[in-house]
Structure 1
Amino acid sequence: MKYTKLMSMSLLVLMLAACGDVETKTPTSAPTQQEVDEEVDDDKGTEEVNEANEAEVSGEETAPAKPLYTLNEANWSFKPIANAPSKVVLLTIDDAPDKRSLEMAKTLKSLNAPAIFFVNGHFLDSDEKKAVLKEIHNMGFAIGNHTQTHADLKKLTEEEQRAEIMQVSETIEAIIGEKPKFFRAPFGSNTDFSKALVKEQGMLLMNWTYGYDWESKYQDANALKDIMVNTEYLTNGANLLMHDRVWTAEALGGIVEGLRAKGYGMIDPATIQGVTGQ
């Protein structure tokens, strides 16, 4: 019996010692940024962005994201803050929700690719379209203001501009429970008044770096996919403009896959500096 007790106590001591070794191991330090090649670091960062996108587009509630990107108004692209990945693009869809927005949102969600859907208020004139917008928002996509009637703001009075911007913002808030955080003027046509109003409303004003789907020669899925991925304007942080169009919806999956094949991640709009709450 004494021998058995001694053996049991010895085993217990050994087990506790082993547990202590596991708990007190010091993790290997990660290499510093200077110790890794810039291209490798970009690839690693792109993987991290894509992993983060999976949670964002799933529609699951997550903690507020830290600002990782800031807008560069020189070409409306995005620059990384601190150590955020630089090889990324922002996907945006204008004229939502016309005919293909829900289909496009489902394509993007299946690919874990976040985007901003910029809304025209005149597309929200039925309960069916309001339900579509709510569903897109519930999928985890950001909703932006693209004015009520897609008017050229430079041709309107200040009161007319206010109505174009405020009416759609109020409608969006009534549908999804929050105000839009982004604004894009039709045709990229802004005025001093509209810029001030957008800022007052806590929205980030943006245009785009490049887009092609309104040009006749790119109103074809294959041609559009090719130019969106292979254009000379594709640079780090590019702000990609697309629209709710049949050919764009058909090309969208290939565009995302083509960009990723080139090593580009997708910016989560919630990580852009300057939107409400940041």
Structure 2
Amino acid sequence: MKTLRSDIKKRRVRKARKERRRLVVILAAIFLMIFLIGKLTSAPEEEVVAKESINQEDATVVAEESIIQSAIQPAKQKRPDGKPTGKVVYLTFDDGPTTLTDEFLDLLKEQDIQATFFMQGINLQKIDLQENVKRATEEGHYVGAHSMTHNSKKLYDNGQFVSEMSETLSLIQDITGTNPKLVRPPYGSAPGLKSQQIRNEIIKAGIKIWDWTIDSKDWAVKDNPNQIVENIKKQTTTDIEVILMHEQLQTLQALPKIIAFYKKNGYEFGVYNDADHFYLNFQNDTRL
């Protein structure tokens, strides 16, 4: 009887062991399946991440190569006098900012042309005009100074030229964040800057001067924009031209024809750059 009970007990133990082994095998199979499914699911994500990493590395390499290429590109060639080679015309506008500044900027933007503006301090102080001064620099135009008062007696007779120009340049810097050095003397540097002493003061202040090669005389023909165009055409005689114009309605009306004339004659449109300054003053002072 005891032997029978012992056999039964042993069989039960063996059966329990088999059940445990079977359970372990089943659990192991389940864990293996979960692991394999997880690997299959995450593989595409890992592949995408890997590809993105490669693409980012490629983009970095391309950007670095581009920087190197631009660094070794030769600068645009210049003539012995510092002027650019080829045919280049500089459109310049005095006496801004005005209520017409935005319309000048719109037209220039349509034509994809940058210009050089010489602005008066008295106008720069008008809050409602400052937004277009900012816009001008943001769109690639150069904004230089044209004095605070445009008063020849104060500027030249009373010796306020440098102080007024410095104040105007500071205003431009405050409004635009740029640091311009170029100014245009009201009525030109002749005879205003005839004095060697004034020119020495200008040089000491780090100021540069630009007069012009073409006087459009736009101020004298209020209702005749076509005459402005003709004035400019007649005076166009060299490969490098700097045109004096003003922010006036008749000039705005003449501008499309002026641009068309120079395009037809193979000119590029230049904008002043402090780094590429060339002297252009009626005193022929190469230091200015």
The equivalent position to 1:243 in structure 2, one of 239, 242, 246, is 246
**Displacement of 1:157:** 2.4
- Alpha-carbon contact 1:94-1:117 (below 8 Å) kept: yes
After TM superposition, list the pairs within 5 Å mapping 1:102-121 onto structure 2: 102-121=102-121
Distance 1:201 1:70, change over 3 A: farther
Q: CA deviation at 1:219?
A: 4.6
Counterpart AA for 2:212: W
Cα deviation, residue 164, structure 1: 1.3
Label 1:219 to 1:183 Cα distance change in 2 as closer, same or farther (>3 A). farther
**Who wins on radius of gyration, i.e. which is larger?**
2
* Contact 1:94 1:146 survives alignment (8 Å): yes
Partner of 2:35: none
1:266 aligns with 2:269: yes
Per-residue displacement from partner, 1:10-66 (whole Å, max 9, x unpaired)? xxxxxxxxxxxxxxxxxxxxxxxxxxxxxxxxxxxxxxxxxxxxxxxxxxxx99x95
Q: Secondary structure at the match of 2:89?
A: strand
Q: How does 1:135-146 map to 2 (within 5 A)?
A: 135-146=135-146
Q: Is the 8 A contact 1:114 1:269 kept in 2?
A: no
Structure 1's 193 and 99: CA in aligned 2 closer, same or farther, altered over 3 A? farther
Distance 2:267 2:139 in 1: 22
Cα separation, 1, equivalents of 2:80 and 2:163: 26
Deviation at 1:260, TM superposition (A): 0.7
Q: Aligned pair in 2 of structure 1 residues 197, 142: CA closer, same or farther (>3 Å)?
A: farther
1:96-117 C-alpha deviation (Å, 9 max, x unpaired): 1123222112211221222110
1:213-224 maps to which residues of 2 (within 5 A)? Answer: 213-214=217-218, 216-217=220-221, 219-224=223-228
Aligned length: 202
- For residues 142 and 206 of structure 1, what CA distance do their matches in structure 2 show? 13
Mapped to 1, the partners of 2:198 and 2:177 lie a distance apart of: 23
Partner of 1:226: 230
Aligned-partner Cα distance in 2 for 1:110–1:216: 27
Q: Distance in 2 between matches of 1:193 and 1:98?
A: 33
> What does residue range 1-278 of structure 1 map to in structure 2 within 5 Å?
66=75, 68-69=77-78, 79-80=83-84, 84-85=85-86, 87-152=87-152, 155-158=156-159, 160-188=160-188, 189-190=192-193, 191-214=195-218, 216-217=220-221, 219-228=223-232, 230-270=233-273, 272-273=276-277
| Root mean square deviation, CA, Å | 2.8
Distance 2:89 2:151 in 1: 27
Extract unaligned runs of 5+ from structure 2. 1-69, 280-288
* Counterparts of 2:222 and 2:177, CA distance in 1: 36
Name the CA shift for 1:71/1:209 in 2 (closer, same or farther; >3 Å).
farther
Distance in 2 between the 1:79 and 1:119 partners? 24
1:195 Cα shift? 2.9
Q: Render the CA deviation track for 1:81-127: whole Å, top value 9, x for unaligned.
A: xxx32x11111111111232221122112212221100100002222
Contact (CA 8 Å) 1:70, 1:273: kept in 2 or not?
no
Q: CA separation in 2, counterparts of 1:214 and 1:93?
A: 11
* Residue-by-residue CA offset, 1:120-160 (whole Å, 9 max, x unaligned): 000022221111211111111011111011121664323x2
Evaluate the alpha carbon distance shift between residue 71 and residue 109 of structure 1 in structure 2; reply closer, same or farther with a 3 A threshold: farther
Deviations 1:238-260 (A, max 9, x none): 11111011100111122111111
User: Does structure 2 conserve the Cα–Cα contact (< 8 Å) formed by 1:211 and 1:240?
Assistant: yes
The answer as to whether partners of 1:121 and 1:147 remain within 8 angstroms in 2 is yes
Identify, as 1 or 2, the structure richer in helix: 2
Do 2:218 and 2:228's aligned partners in 1 also have CA atoms closer than 8 Å? no
Alpha-carbon distance in structure 1 between the residues aligned to 2:218 and 2:258: 16
Show structure 1 runs of 4+ deviating over 4 A.
Answer: 65-72
CA positional deviation for 1:171: 0.7
Identity among equivalent positions (%) equals 24
Counterpart of 1:195, as a letter, is R
**TM-score of the pair, normalised by structure 2:** 0.62
1:100 maps to amino acid? L
Check 1:126–1:112 CA distance in 2 against 1; reply closer, same or farther (3 A cut): same
Gaps of 5+ in 1: 1-61, 73-77
Q: What is the CA–CA distance in structure 2 between the aligned matches of 1:175 and 1:116, rounded to whole Å?
A: 16
Classify 1:217/1:143 alpha carbon distance in 2 versus 1 (closer, same or farther; 3 Å): closer
